[in-house]
Amino acid sequence: MRNVYIFGAGMTKFGLYNGIKLSEKSSHELGKEACLKAIDYAGINHNEIEGAFCGTVASQPTCAQMVLSFCGISGIPTYNHENGCASSSSALKHAWESVAHGICDTAIVFGVECWSHLMKTNGAALAGMASPPPGNNLNQDVAGAFGPALLAMVGRAHMDKYGTTVEQFAKVSVKNKRNAVMNPNAQFRKSVTIEEVLNSKMICDPLTKLQCCPNTDGAAAMIIGTGDIARKHTAKPVKIEVITQLSSPYKGLAGDLSGFKCFVDASKQAYNLCGIGPEDLDVVEVHDDFSILEVVAYEDIGLCNRGEGGEFIDKGLSDYGGKVVVSPSGGLLGKGHPMGATGVAQILELFWQLRGECGERQVKDARVGLAHNGGGIGEGFEPGATTITIVSI
Amino acid sequence: MEQTRIKLEENEMWVRENLLKLPETPDESPRLIAGKCESCGDVSFPQKERCGVCSCKNINQIYLSRTAKIYSYTIVHRSVPGYQLPNIVAMLKFKEDDSLLVISQIKNIAPEDVKSGMEVELIIDKLSDNFMTGKKVIGYAFQPTIGDIIRER
């Protein structure tokens, strides 16, 4: 296998684009903006790109081809990946394998979502409630709002088993929304207090509105390639150490809902494959679609022991000056969560952090980063698709 | 309070077919239909065609106990269209297999009275209004087994 590097990055500002708040834009225009930014950032000619890999959930069929036609890219192998909120990280895994195995030397990878208008029409105005029509998902049909309800039950199981508190979950929102203030691409740029988080509207007890990710539109893109090509364009390419991707294992942690076996397994596989451990990480982006998931993620990816996630946030160990900075971009809670774009956007934050380009939210001397991304619902009420990406400089 | 219902009205639909063993006599109670692996004993709901643990092809149909325990729960205050709010949703455990979790609404109890570990029993009840067909969606739900805590919401 050849080493593979990221050397171009671009994203749109995340927000509501479909005539709600910002100017009216389509998924094609958002995707084009991100892709052209990534191409220009890399300083590569668009006709040097040999493969295209797109992640999207709610766009039209062959979204990638539509986006790339605006960028002058056609006549190359092009793939659209749908893996829920882990769609574009799954696309990146496919692209990484293609370059690593010599199928192509340079690839563009992007995620795009422009779906806030859909949420207006189906009546559910909260991203976690993204839901198929009745009859498609038994759990959804039984429970109603399935995403937030499930994470709320994960949180209560964690509270019952380990004594974790609602304040500890709320602190994730306080930290990540504060980080988003420092990110010009973030949807929300307003910090909140723990009281504001706890007193915001109850969605699924104990999850309040400020602990749930918003509806977001946006796109994020990157250029990857072999070492020779990457170094031609930048002195500081970011190496993709490993990407692991799993469907959730049957029954997860065997009836214990206070953690996710898919993330435990995918991160262990990743650490084993690249010889990097959780103690080596400087910066991490987690899938904090709900505050509870970040606390559980600390444990699942081995930043702390099982049951110590609440203490980890309490002591500021996931914050600047702590053990490892988690979600410096603002995470899904602060930066926003355009489902198909989230996976690539997480890794772009790591790319910029490792290159020292993050301004006031820069993590000092960041050399190794990990992205934790999950999508949909699979076996054992765990995410149907789990992706762990480790990058280094 | 209607505990069991067998025949649906014109404006009603089952949430899914083949999930419930309906009572055939007044003495019987409704049960969830599950699968039990002949070789490793793993219990699945809904019933699987192949065992998720050992890949065995021989899955026997069993009926789960009518009672279960609340493992975790949430009070849903905001939902997709068609659900009565607040809606109590719980993850249940059955004595047949501790690794099995079943999600269900909890009916006939005030939200503040729900607790982890509480024993509940299967009932057949309305789950939601299907906003596409306009029909009432009927299926399995659970209510507390302790009589004095049961109340109409």
Query: Would you list the DSSP string of A92-160?
Result: HHHHHHHHHTTS-SEEEEEEEE--HHHHHHHS--SGGG--PPTTS-HHHHHHSSHHHHHHHHHHHHHHH
Q: What is the mean pLDDT of chain B?
A: 89
Residues 184-223 of A with CB under 8 A from B: 201-207
Helices (H), chain A: 27-42, 63-70, 87-100, 116-122, 138-143, 146-162, 166-181, 194-199, 227-233, 261-274, 291-300, 309-314, 331-334, 339-354
Is residue B89 over pLDDT 70?
Answer: yes
* B78/A203 Cβ within 8 A: yes
User: In the prediction, which pLDDT does A143 show?
Assistant: 80
User: In the prediction, which pLDDT does B1 show?
Assistant: 40
The predicted-structure confidence for B54-67, as pLDDT tens digits, reads as follows 989 999 999 999 99
The predicted-structure confidence for A64-93, as pLDDT tens digits, reads as follows 999 999 999 999 999 999 999 999 999 999
Is residue B149 over pLDDT 70?
Answer: no
* B80/A138 Cβ within 8 A: no
Instruction: Look up residue A384 and give its two tokens.
Output: 């149907």
A337 is catalytic: yes
User: In the prediction, which pLDDT does B132 show?
Assistant: 80
A85 is catalytic: yes
> Does the structural domain A126-212+240-392 have CATH classification 3.40.1280.10?
no
Distance CA A135, CA A113 (A): 24
Q: Do domains A4-119+217-238 and A126-212+240-392 have the same CATH topology?
A: yes
Residues B103 and A142: beta-carbon distance below 8 Å:
yes
Q: pLDDT band at B24, cuts 50/70/90?
A: confident
Residues of B within 8 A of A140 (CB-CB) are 80
Residue A165 burial by CB count (10 A; 0-12/13-18/19+): exposed, middle or buried? middle
* B91/A141 Cβ within 8 A: no
Residues of A within 8 A of B77 (CB-CB) are 201-205
Which residues does chain A have with pLDDT short of 50? 121-128
The predicted-structure confidence for A232-276, as pLDDT tens digits, reads as follows 999 999 999 999 999 999 999 999 999 999 999 999 999 999 999
* A156/B81 Cβ within 8 A: no
Q: Which residue of B has its CA nearest to A141?
A: B15
CB distance from B7 to chain A under 8 Å?
Answer: no
* A152/B78 Cβ within 8 A: no
Complex ipTM tops 0.85: yes
User: In the prediction, which pLDDT does A115 show?
Assistant: 84
The superfamily (CATH) of domain A4-119+217-238 is: Thiolase/Chalcone synthase (3.40.47.10)
Is residue B152 over pLDDT 50?
Answer: no
- Min Cα distance A91 → chain B (Å) is 27
Q: Is the peptide bond before A338 cis (omega within 30 degrees of 0)?
A: no
For chain A, which residues make up each domain, given as ranges? Answer: 4-119+217-238, 126-212+240-392
